[in-house]
């Protein structure tokens, strides 16, 4: 286990260097871009005397992450304290325009990823790399921990034809990389070709979860309130592609799954019989306050992870999908598009990154057998990512 206080973030190392001196900085960040003392990187740059804070760029949910639901764009604005433009990269554009970068000498990215392919912040980063390459602006990515560790890889790899804003590159659903490592992978292996520097952390160990680093947990987005929610997210995010609630509108999003027609105890009994490792399913009823089934009592379960290093969130999600579907095949539905700017393909397919898993579920293949079909994807990705890992 990593000892408390032993991880030094890339942002701390950047501010302690001379890399920002006398440069106009564009900063890609949100409210979670803080250090161990909860000091925000924008404030630190603005008062450092090293550089000029020239522009701020916010990802999905906005600079302050005030927008609860997904697929709601945020407007551009002006920062009240620093009197600099705040550009939304989840608006009419998801990539900085050349005009936005005109007064920027260096683009700094300090975003907290959560270790799952479909989390959009990593594609905001990729889009920034593309725009910066075109503008001739160098990029620094300040590395941060993968909050669910950097060892386990799970799930299908995105296949060609299923690219979207929740999946641009052929990586597994749970990728086991930090945002700095992903930046190297995207830039070099997948051909973006920006002028890129990563500022690594010191003291981070690949097996460590966020609550083992001594760093605070700041919600990277409104519906990931805890490390527990991040731990299950690689699997239960898939429920965004169904008419089943993934717990949005509750205090335990992604840990609660259910729908008004579900018999909670029968669901849990079905799942318990599969003896899935590292997790206990508890029967629950819950009432979302917004999004799917708002104001209606839902039967379902809460996922309680008992062993993080044995828990397989994607396989568990497939088993849960099957159990829900089998309980009422007439009422369970795959969500229809649009979803995250994709208007043709089914949301479940762009979330899985393939239509194969949906077809396997519809064909009643057991979850364990479906998971076995990912083995070759995972082995190939382990080799692909190896040259880009920064920590052993």
Number of domains in the chain: 2
Quick one: pLDDT at residue 36?
A: 96
Residues 244 and 336 in one domain: yes
Rounded to the nearest 10 degrees, how much is the dihedral formed by the CA atoms of 331, 335, 337, 341? 160
Which structure tokens are listed for 263?
């018999």
Residues 138 and 69 in one domain: yes
Mean pLDDT, rounded, for 264-287 = 98
Angle at 256 between CA 289 and CA 62, to 5 degrees: 60
Residues 232 and 130 in one domain: no
Mean pLDDT, rounded, for 21-31 = 98
Q: DSSP states of 364-381 as a string?
A: T--HHHHHHTTHHHHHHH
Q: Which of 185, 216, 247 is the last residue of a domain?
A: 216
Residues 183 and 232 in one domain: no
Residues 167 and 241 in one domain: no
Give the orientation angle of helix 313-327 with respect to helix 227-236, to 10 degrees: 60
Q: Rounded to 5, what percent of the chain is helix, strand, coil?
A: 30, 20, 50
The Cα 267–Cα 261 span in angstroms is 11
Residue 290 covered by a domain: yes
Residues 170 and 236 in one domain: no
CATH assignment at residue 232: 3.90.1150.140
Bridging pattern class, strands 139-142 and 279-286: unpaired
Give residue-wise pLDDT tens across range 307-321. 999 999 999 999 999
Residue 65 has pLDDT above 90, yes or no: no
Residue 66 covered by a domain: yes
Residues 159 and 258 in one domain: no
Residues 36 and 116 in one domain: yes
Tokens 């950047």 belong to which residue?
A: 14
Give residue-wise pLDDT tens across range 140-164. 999 999 999 999 999 999 999 999 9
Mean pLDDT, rounded, for 287-301 = 97
Q: Which of 195, 216, 237 is the last residue of a domain?
A: 216
Using an 8 Å Cβ cutoff, are 243 and 333 in contact? yes
Preceding omega of 101 cis (within 30 degrees of 0): no
Residue 134 covered by a domain: yes
Q: Which domain holds residue 130?
A: 10-216
Mean pLDDT, rounded, for 68-75 = 81
Angle at 167 between CA 163 and CA 170, to 5 degrees: 80
Residue 325 covered by a domain: yes
Quick one: pLDDT at residue 3?
A: 42
CATH assignment at residue 140: 3.40.50.12170
Q: Give the CB-side neighbour count of residue 279, counting CA atoms within 13 A.
A: 27
Across the beta sheet with 298-305, what order do the strands follow? Answer: 256-259, 298-305, 279-286
Residue 297 has pLDDT above 70, yes or no: yes
Which contiguous run of DSSP H or E holds residue 135? helix 121-135
Mean pLDDT, rounded, for 244-269 = 98
Residue 339 sits at φ, ψ, to 5 deg, of -155, 120
With cut-offs at 50, 70 and 90, classify the pLDDT of residue 2: very low
Residue 136 covered by a domain: yes
Mean pLDDT, rounded, for 159-187 = 98
| CA gyration radius, the chain | 21
Quick one: pLDDT at residue 66?
A: 86
Residues 246 and 354 in one domain: yes
List CB contacts of 161: < 8 A, sequence separation 6 or more: none
Quick one: pLDDT at residue 4?
A: 45
Residues 145 and 52 in one domain: yes
Nearest one of 13, 319, 357, 312 to 151, comparing CA atoms: 312
More reliable by pLDDT, 341 or 202: 202
Quick one: pLDDT at residue 72?
A: 84
Share of the chain above pLDDT 90, in %: 95
Residues 177 and 86 in one domain: yes
Mean pLDDT, rounded, for 375-381 = 97
Residues 80 and 122 in one domain: yes
List CB contacts of 367: < 8 A, sequence separation 6 or more: 274, 315, 316, 318, 319, 322
Q: Which of 179, 197, 216 is the last residue of a domain?
A: 216
CA 21 to chain CA mean position, Å? 32
Mean pLDDT, rounded, for 288-294 = 96
- Hey, CA dihedral for 270, 272, 277, 281, is it positive or negative? positive
With cut-offs at 50, 70 and 90, classify the pLDDT of residue 5: low
Residue 4 covered by a domain: no
List CB contacts of 45: < 8 A, sequence separation 6 or more: 15, 20, 25, 27, 51, 53, 108
The chain-wide mean pLDDT, for the chain, equals: 96
């Amino acid at each position: 286990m990593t000892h408390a206080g032993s991880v030094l973030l890339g942002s701390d190392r950047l501010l302690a260097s001379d890399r920002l001196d006398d440069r106009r900085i564009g900063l890609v960040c949100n409210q979670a871009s803080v250090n161990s003392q909860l000091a925000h990187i924008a404030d630190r740059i603005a008062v450092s005397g090293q550089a000029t804070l020239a522009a701020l760029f916010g990802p999905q949910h906005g600079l302050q992450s005030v927008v609860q639901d997904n697929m709601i764009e945020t407007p551009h604005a002006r920062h009240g304290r620093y009197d600099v433009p705040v550009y939304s990269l989840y608006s009419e554009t998801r990539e900085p325009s050349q005009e936005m970068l005109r007064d920027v000498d260096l683009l700094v990215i300090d975003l907290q990823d959560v270790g799952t392919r479909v989390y959009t912040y990593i594609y905001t980063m990729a889009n920034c790399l593309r725009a910066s390459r075109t503008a001739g602006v160098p990029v620094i990515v300040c590395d941060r921990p993968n909050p669910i560790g950097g060892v386990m890889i799970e799930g299908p790899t995105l296949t060609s034809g299923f690219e979207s804003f929740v999946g641009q590159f052929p990586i597994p659903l749970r990728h086991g990389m930090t945002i700095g490592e992903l930046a190297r992978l995207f830039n070099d292996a997948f051909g973006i070709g920006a002028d890129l520097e990563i500022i690594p952390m010191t003291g981070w160990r690949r097996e460590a979860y966020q609550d083992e680093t001594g760093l605070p947990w700041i919600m990277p987005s409104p519906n990931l309130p805890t490390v527990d929610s991040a731990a299950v997210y690689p699997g239960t995010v898939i429920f965004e592609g169904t008419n089943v609630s993934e717990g949005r509108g509750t205090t335990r999003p992604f840990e609660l799954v259910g729908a008004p027609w579900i018999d909670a105890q029968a669901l849990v009994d079905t799942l318990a019989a599969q003896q899935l490792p590292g997790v206990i399913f508890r029967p629950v009823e819950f009432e979302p306050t917004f999004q799917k089934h708002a104001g209606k009592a839902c039967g379902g379960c809460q996922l309680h992870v008992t062993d993080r290093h044995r828990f397989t969130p994607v396989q568990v999600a497939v088993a849960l999908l099957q159990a829900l579907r089998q309980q009422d095949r007439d009422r369970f539905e795959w969500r229809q598009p649009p979803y995250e700017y994709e208007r043709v393909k089914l949301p479940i397919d762009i979330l899985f990154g393939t239509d194969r898993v949906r077809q396997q579920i519809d064909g009643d293949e057991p979850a364990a057998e479906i998971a076995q079909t990912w083995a070759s994807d995972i082995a190939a990705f382990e080799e692909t990512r190896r040259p880009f890992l920064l920590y052993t």
